[in-house]
Amino acid sequence: MDNSLQIKFEGEAHQIDENAKLTIIKMSFEKGAKWEFLYNGFKIKINVKDDALMDIINKGARFGKGDAIKVTLKIIKKYDSEYNAMVNHSYKIIAFHEHIKNVSVENTSLFETE
C-alpha cells in the first residue's frame, strides 16, 4: 500500500507587479488586440485594453523599436499537474503609467547631414 501523501491544487493565483517594464516587440492600434512584449527576459502576449494607453496612441504618440511601457501588471498563474507547480498562464495590464522611449533610437537620424 502506498502511504505517500499527494496534494492536489486546483485553480489559479494572481500576482501583481506594480512597476513592470514591458519592452514592445509587436503592437496594434486596435483596442483589445494582442501585443507582444519582453518581460523579465521572456516574450509574452497581452490583449491590450487599457484606456489610458489607447488614449495616448489615439492622441498621436509615436512608438519606435526598443520603446517600453511602465505598467501595473497582473500575472495569472494556474496549477500545472504535470510539473506540480504554478505556471504563468496569462497577463493583464491593470494600469498604464509611462511610455519609455528608446534613447538610442530617439537621438539618431535616418539621414545624417553634414
Q: How far is CA 2 from CA 5, 81, 87, in A?
A: 9, 19, 28
Three-state SS string over 22-86 comes to EEEEECCCCCCCEEEEEECCEEEEEECCCHHHHHHHHCCCCCCCCCEEEEEEEEEEEEECCCCEE
CATH dotted code for 12-100 = 2.40.50
What pLDDT was estimated at residue 111?
Answer: 56
Domain boundaries, the chain: 12-100
- What is the mean pLDDT of the segment spanning 90-107? 84
Checking if the pLDDT of 6 tops 80, the result is: no
pLDDT category at 95 given cuts 50, 70, 90 is very high
What pLDDT was estimated at residue 31?
Answer: 83
For the stretch 26-83, pLDDT in tens is 998 888 899 999 999 999 999 998 899 999 989 999 999 899 999 999 999 999 889 9
